[in-house]
Amino acid sequence: MPRTIDNLMKMFTSGSESNVRYMGFAEAADKEGHANAAKIFRAVSMAKMFHALSHFRATNLLDTTMENLKQALEEETYDYKNAYPSMVQDAVTEDALKGRHSLEYGMSIGPIITKLISKAIGNPDANEDSSYYICPVCGNIEFGKPPGKCPFCGVDAMDFVEVS
């Protein structure tokens, strides 16, 4: 079974990457006016997401909610404290402005993500009546209502995506 777990994890990673890449392809197709190609990319992207979820579930690596929260906190903390800083520096050194901004957004939003995960660890059953609002550019997460403009990237409140 160890080989099967390895294979499932490889395809989980591949499917997850394809899911996001194909969403990017769909955005590009939309911008170029290729609505049908964009629709196909979105459909394939969703299929890849379902495949990836199925592969991950089949590994039996899902744990209790509390253990999953602890793992998420560890991963997210590592990313913004350890992984992102050197990557941002590489982007600065290489004068890769778009890459730098993307990496800085990820690093800046890391503490917000870890705070939310920590909140869930403290009370996983909290009854919150409001929604979360996610900035589609930088990933900033706001609770209750979005700000007039994202404090990290300036995106307008009406562009935030609601998660309830």
- 128: pLDDT confidence band, cut at 50, 70 and 90? confident
- Residue 127 has a pLDDT of 84
If you search the block for the tokens 């403290």, which residue do you land on?
A: 122
| 152: pLDDT strictly greater than 80 | yes
Res. 43: pLDDT tops 80: yes
Class of domain 128-164: mainly beta
Asked if residue 1 has pLDDT above 80, the reply is: no
Instruction: Tell me which CATH code domain 2-58 carries.
Output: 1.20.1260.10
Q: Hey, do 2-58 and 128-164 end up sharing a CATH topology, with the first three levels equal?
A: no
Q: What is the pLDDT of residue 118?
A: 97
pLDDT surpassing 90 at residue 140 = yes
For the chain, give every domain's residue range: 2-58, 63-124, 128-164
Query: Which 3 state secondary structure label does DSSP give 66?
Result: helix
Residue 97 has pLDDT above 80, yes or no: yes
Residue 16 has pLDDT above 80, yes or no: yes
> What is the pTM assigned to this prediction?
0.88
Compute the 3-state secondary structure of the chain and give helix, strand, coil in percent, each to the nearest 5.
70, 5, 25
Report how far apart, in Å, the C-alpha atoms of 117 and of each of 75, 113, 161 are. Answer: 11, 6, 19
